Structure 1
């Protein structure tokens, strides 16, 4: 019998854990009248107001067309507003409104409860260690992503 590679198992667990967490968050946001994507958009703008629409799409790993629809929804609810970039009229900058900030404050309890439940039984030092591991994984993935992009660019150039 062949022993499983622990790195492969860890990778599979990360994917499965992420899938379960996304599902729980999506379900628990329904009573607030929000989707996970809407929540992520408001949370990002709450921290980084004035992002270009394409920058926000990239940061949230959302297709640009999906970001347009998402911002349309949030804008219709008065939670986000688009403003033209003074330096480039083709670019929309996104700003969270007072109502949007209020909505994110309303969700502070939700975020607190999710964190408490998710890390139930973990010590603070275990969570800090986990963050260090995720930071290393994130750095490795960014390196892989950059190498893949460079290889694709090289392949497309035909040289």
Structure 2
């Protein structure tokens, strides 16, 4: 087998993704949050959800994991949960004023992080990068037809 002439694309992408992800985690932590809290707050702000099950699906985590995060968020006064009057087994989740405030704080941190990532790139380069990343994702998620 011949020696590789350069770093495999998947390895370069994995290393970059890990570095960017760690930096984003640190940015959110410095702003008083975490990735799960950010995803939950963002989803509650941007999507009309009827219940906790829909929230779990939208965030992309298991129901039990979401419950763990919501318990902590409720204890910290960020969200309230109440039973749906028409179906007592269903919980509806809403942001409190403190949750709204943390959302704004984390949104500012996320925007600053995104601006940091864009440093030195033109808008056209960002469009190209986004297109290339989308193509890489499609290459992995599209079934190979023999």
| Structure 1 residues 20 and 26, CA gap change in structure 2 (3 angstroms) | same
The aligned residue for residue 35 of structure 2 is: 36
Name the CA distance, whole Å, in 2 between partners of 1:127 and 1:48: 26
| Structure 1 residues 3 and 84, CA gap change in structure 2 (3 angstroms) | farther
| Structure 1 residues 121 and 35, CA gap change in structure 2 (3 angstroms) | same
Aligned-pair CA distance for 1:87: 5.1
Aligned length: 144
TM-score by length of 2: 0.77
The aligned residue for residue 65 of structure 1 is: 64
| Structure 1 residues 137 and 45, CA gap change in structure 2 (3 angstroms) | farther
The aligned residue for residue 18 of structure 1 is: 17
Aligned-pair CA distance for 1:122: 0.9
Cα deviation digits, residues 73-123 of structure 1 (max 9, x gap) = 111122122233455432223222232122111233312221121121111
| Structure 1 residues 140 and 106, CA gap change in structure 2 (3 angstroms) | same
Q: 111-120 vs 128-137, which deviates more? A: 128-137
What are structure 1's unaligned runs of at least 5 residues?
A: 148-159
1:2 and 2:2 matched: yes
What is the alpha-carbon root mean square deviation over aligned residues?
2.9
What are structure 2's unaligned runs of at least 5 residues?
A: none
| Structure 1 residues 83 and 119, CA gap change in structure 2 (3 angstroms) | same
TM-score by length of 1: 0.72
1:98 and 2:97 matched: yes
| Structure 1 residues 93 and 141, CA gap change in structure 2 (3 angstroms) | farther
Query: RCO higher in 1 or 2 (8 Å CA, sep ≥ 6)?
Result: 2
